[in-house]
A and B are shown apart, each in its own frame.
Chain A
Amino acid sequence: MPWFLHLALRQLFPPGKRFPAFATVSILGVALGVASLLVVQTVMNGFGEEHRLRIRESFGDCLVTGPAPIEKPEALAKELAARPEVASASLFAEGPALARNGDFSGIAQVRGIDPTDPGQPARKYVYGGRFDDLDDGRIILGVGLARALRVRIGDRVEVWSPAMAERAEKGKAPLPAEFEVCAVIQTGFTEVDNAAALIPLRRFREIWNLGPRAHGLTLRLKEPALAAATAGRLAVGHPELRFRPWQDIKKDFLEAIRFEKTMLFFLMFIITLVASFSIGSTLFSAVIRRSREVGVLASLGAARWQVVALFGLQGLLIGALGTLLGFLLTWTILSFRDGILGAINSLFGGGDMVANVYQFSKVPLHYDASDFFIAAAFTLLTTAIAGLVPALWAAGRKPSEAMRDA
């Protein structure tokens, strides 16, 4: 071990002191900064991942639509499902309708789906009732729409489709389709929850006079992350259709999440920066206090770079140890995140935002190695600079002046 590293370690951790004030406070400061940064980033990643998952579950990994209803959707579904990149393909049809319950009405975005498909994403978001009860006489409503219509499980609603207006135009009496509410879903997406109405595709085709056609297909891909490239390949040979990867469907929303994460990174990084500045300031005091020692080192023949290394390494060591402790603190905080949130909620009387607003069973998180790498790199850089400034100052002093001071 070089002598300056040995001396740096001794000056940081003098023998006989279990918790030396300067080192302990500095390392804790850096650790708290790193932990704040990483806890926020990891939870933000978790929210982002959850939202991405919901987008995929709500809209599929790839949405196939056309300028007009697809004429032979079953054949297209069969063809696409046979592609190696595609895990499954299911048909859907959708359109706006007037939903009514007595004096209460609302605009519903009705979607015809295959209720026997075990992979139907709506199954995961059932808030009340049973998804498997869905049949030709039953309907599943978004929670917001159900509230607007003042209906509960077992209540009946009428659905008026635009096709019924056409029927009225032809002089025939338009009769609404009647359904019994068998389930309510809550996805967390307001636009879905306030308008979604799910009925079997067969029934949708009847009400909308759609015949054998469908409005589109949702594809599940084997590699959802590669949806954009896969969509491009699948589109070849189908110029009349539009293949939209999930990243494109909610592009603005995903961009907002990414931007929010970046902003939070910079806000949280300021905490680490403040810790680094306090290290710089404390190290400056230590260097001034050790002026005579700097002079003695010069009298022993120490080169300037070795004096720089002696004090610069102290900043770097604080940064490295603070970062490691920060990682540990991050893991500890995130392991007990739900307990911590519960304690905060009970202390300040707030409701469980995570469950009530976001519909997550627990605070979501997603560890991303790059966040840890970036946090470590930034912290080490700032603490190294914080240590380097006083180190350069010390090394630049005349030995005779240094020995006269302090």
Chain B
Amino acid sequence: MPDIVLQARGLAKAFASPAGRLPVLTDVSLEVFAGESVSIRGSSGSGKTTLLQQLGGLDQPDAGEVRILAPGAGLVAPRSSLGRGVGFVFQNYQLMPELTALENVALAARVAGASASSATEAARALLVQVGLGARLEHLPAKLSGGECQRVAIARALVNRPSLILADEPTGNLDERTGAEIMDLLLGVVADRGAALILVTHSREFAERAARRFVLSGGVLSPA
């Protein structure tokens, strides 16, 4: 049986609102195994991004706990596995505008502690793999949306994480480019043996994951 790369139990999150506490997540539990792809679909405002942030350690749940497989450390709190155990792909790419494509990817490796030369080499190899070998020195402003998302995917993978969390990775792209990015994401993640949690409101893309969930009313249930 494959290793568990993510274990979430009883997650709950509520936000303050003028009408009082507004529950967004209610008793969410999830297990994801190595190499597996999981999609979470939901309408806008259903709490998909909030769930992803709890799973990735960008925010703390009000209740429950999350454990993520970190290389050489076993299951640990997501905050301590950021950058190494987990890689993020965001809807708006979130690249550093002053850094080239190569530097953006290498930055993730540098932050994780790699030397400048090994970070650059790993970044170069990944960018070639995602089809941007000719765009290494381009700034994000000189890249198309699809190219920016390829850079973001390479950045998420550069530290060989066990889990990729993708938040609406095709949300800003046209249909054809979105489909290309999905192909790339699923292919590259599978190549590297990582697990993928894909948050999307697109039924079509959600259907391509091995396991599918729907988030509605704060409750996560199988699709």
- A residues near B (Cβ < 8 Å) are 1, 3, 6-7, 10-11, 14-16, 292-293, 295-302, 306, 398-400, 403
Cβ–Cβ contact A3 & B110, under 8 A: yes
Interface string of B175-219 (1 = CB under 8 A from A): 000000000000000000000000000000000000000000000
- Known A-B contacts: A3-B111, A398-B58, A399-B58. Give 14 more (CB < 8 A): A7-B96, A7-B99, A14-B97, A14-B98, A292-B94, A295-B94, A296-B88, A296-B94, A297-B111, A299-B56, A300-B112, A399-B53, A403-B53, A403-B90
Complex: how many Å from CA A14 to CA B103?
13
Task: List 8 A-B residue pairs with CB atoms under 8 Å apart, sorted by A's residue number.
Answer: A1-B116, A7-B96, A10-B103, A16-B139, A292-B94, A296-B88, A297-B111, A299-B88
In the complex with contacts A293-B94, A295-B58, A400-B53, A301-B82 CB distance below 8 A = yes
Identify the closest chain A residue to B100 (Cβ).
A15
Chain B residues with CB under 8 Å of A10's CB are 96, 98-99, 103
Cβ–Cβ contact B116 & A299, under 8 A: no
| In the complex, B48 has a CB within 8 A of chain A | no
Cβ–Cβ contact B59 & A300, under 8 A: no
Complex: how many Å from CA A3 to CA B99?
11
A80 CB to closest chain B CB (Å) equals: 70
Complex: how many Å from CA A6 to CA B110?
11
In the complex with contacts A3-B111, A300-B108, A399-B99 CB distance below 8 A = no
Chain A CB within 10 Å — which of B90, B111, B112, B139 has the most?
Answer: B111
Q: Which 7 residue pairs across A and B have the least CB separation, nearest first? A: A301-B83, A400-B59, A3-B110, A10-B98, A301-B82, A399-B58, A400-B53
Interface string of B66-98 (1 = CB under 8 A from A): 000000000000000011100010101010111
Chain B residues with CB under 8 Å of A16's CB are 139
| In the complex, B107 has a CB within 8 A of chain A | yes
Complex: how many Å from CA A15 to CA B88?
26
Interface string of B42-62 (1 = CB under 8 A from A): 000000001001001011000
Identify the closest chain A residue to B113 (Cβ).
A301
Cβ–Cβ contact A299 & B112, under 8 A: no
Cβ–Cβ contact A300 & B98, under 8 A: no
- B residues near A (Cβ < 8 Å) are 50, 53, 56, 58-59, 82-84, 88, 90, 92, 94, 96-100, 103, 107-108, 110-112, 116, 139, 155
Identify the closest chain A residue to B96 (Cβ).
A293
Complex: how many Å from CA A15 to CA B98?
7
In the complex with contacts A10-B99, A15-B139, A299-B110 CB distance below 8 A = no
Identify the closest chain B residue to A402 (Cβ).
B58
Complex: how many Å from CA A16 to CA B142?
12
B215 CB to closest chain A CB (Å) equals: 17
Complex: how many Å from CA A292 to CA B88?
13
Identify the closest chain A residue to B141 (Cβ).
A16
Chain B residues with CB under 8 Å of A306's CB are 111
A93 CB to closest chain B CB (Å) equals: 78
Chain B CB within 10 Å — which of A296, A298, A299, A400 has the most?
Answer: A299
Q: Which of A6, A14, A15, A399 is close to B59, meaning CB atoms less than 8 Å apart?
A: A399
A288 CB to closest chain B CB (Å) equals: 15
Q: Which of B50, B59, B88, B107 is close to A398, meaning CB atoms less than 8 Å apart?
A: B59
Chain A residues with CB under 8 Å of B99's CB are 7, 10
In the complex with contacts A3-B110, A295-B58, A300-B96 CB distance below 8 A = no
Cβ–Cβ contact B58 & A300, under 8 A: no
Chain A residues with CB under 8 Å of B155's CB are 300
Complex: how many Å from CA A293 to CA B110?
16
Chain B residues with CB under 8 Å of A296's CB are 88, 90, 94, 96
A306 CB to closest chain B CB (Å) equals: 7
Chain B CB within 10 Å — which of A1, A306, A398, A400 has the most?
Answer: A400
Chain A residues with CB under 8 Å of B56's CB are 299
A253 CB to closest chain B CB (Å) equals: 56
Identify the closest chain B residue to A16 (Cβ).
B139
Cβ–Cβ contact A300 & B53, under 8 A: no
Complex: how many Å from CA A3 to CA B104?
11
Identify the closest chain B residue to A3 (Cβ).
B110
Complex: how many Å from CA A399 to CA B86?
15
A2 CB to closest chain B CB (Å) equals: 8
B47 CB to closest chain A CB (Å) equals: 12
Chain A residues with CB under 8 Å of B90's CB are 296, 403
Chain B residues with CB under 8 Å of A398's CB are 58-59
In the complex with contacts A11-B98, A400-B59, A300-B139 CB distance below 8 A = no
Chain B residues with CB under 8 Å of A295's CB are 58, 94
A19 CB to closest chain B CB (Å) equals: 15
Cβ–Cβ contact A403 & B58, under 8 A: yes
Identify the closest chain B residue to A295 (Cβ).
B58
Chain B residues with CB under 8 Å of A1's CB are 116
Cβ–Cβ contact A300 & B82, under 8 A: yes
B116 CB to closest chain A CB (Å) equals: 7
Identify the closest chain A residue to B59 (Cβ).
A400
Chain A residues with CB under 8 Å of B108's CB are 300
Cβ–Cβ contact B83 & A300, under 8 A: yes
Complex: how many Å from CA A293 to CA B155?
14
Complex: how many Å from CA A221 to CA B214?
95
